[in-house]
């Protein structure tokens, strides 16, 4: 196992961001952007990893377009093709139905990458994915409205 100091990494991150994170008993903190975008930060000392996560949609559009499904599958396959490289992955919470994006940052990556840069890339990805799912949802609703009008 690679020996890293997560406290030092978080401390440097806080200094760079100009904020002070308050971690729960479960070692989870949250950063809020634009009053509606929450990014969770979970530190796992045992294996020296940090997990970033953010809800990007209340649920998948219904019906879901084939293009959206293919894009989600493509995004989720990136870690496989980068041999486990750190990249965001999209998932669905089985209890709430929320769609979220997460990224597990391993200790080896934390040794060579700056958490602020990884965090910034993650936030950009979450925003893009949130917009992509929302826009696909809107398009599907418009199609449903058109179909309802045609049937009437």
pLDDT digits (tens, 9 = 90+) for 93-149: 999 989 899 999 988 888 888 899 999 888 988 888 888 887 776 554 444 443 343
| Residue 40 domain-assigned (yes or no) | yes
The answer to whether residue 115 sits within a structural domain is yes
Q: How does pLDDT run across 48-84, given as a tens digit for each residue?
A: 899 999 998 888 777 777 887 787 778 777 666 655 5
Whether 51 maps to a domain, the answer reads yes
Distance CA 12, CA 18 (A): 10
Which residues, including other chains, have CB under 8 Å from residue 104's CB and lie 6 or more apart?
49, 50, 51, 86
pTM: 0.80
13: domain CATH number is: 3.30.1460.10
Q: Is there a domain that residue 1 lies in?
A: no
Please check whether residue 48 is in contact with residue 4, taking contact to mean a CB–CB distance below 8 angstroms. Answer: yes
Which residues, listed in sequence order, are joined to residue 51 by a DSSP beta bridge?
42, 104
Domain assignment present for 90: yes
Domain count, the chain: 1
Residue 85 structural domain: 6-151
Helix-strand-coil split of the chain, %, nearest 5: 45, 20, 30
Give the Cα-Cα-Cα angle 87, 23, 99 (nearest 5 degrees): 40
């Amino acid at each position: 196992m690679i020996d890293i100091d997560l406290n030092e990494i978080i401390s440097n991150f806080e200094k760079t961001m100009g904020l002070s994170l308050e971690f729960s008993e479960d070692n989870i903190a949250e950063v809020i952007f634009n009053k509606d975008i929450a990014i969770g930060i979970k530190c796992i000392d045992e294996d020296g990893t940090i997990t970033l996560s953010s809800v990007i949609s209340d649920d998948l559009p219904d019906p879901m377009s084939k293009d959206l499904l293919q894009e989600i599958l493509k995004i989720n396959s990136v870690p496989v093709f980068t041999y486990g490289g750190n990249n965001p992955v999209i998932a669905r919470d089985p209890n709430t139905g929320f769609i979220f994006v997460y990224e597990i940052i391993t200790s080896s990556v934390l040794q060579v990458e700056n958490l602020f840069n990884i965090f910034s890339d993650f936030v950009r990805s979450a925003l893009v994915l949130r917009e992509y799912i929302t826009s696909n949802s809107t398009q599907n609703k418009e199609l449903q409205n058109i179909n309802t009008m045609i049937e009437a």
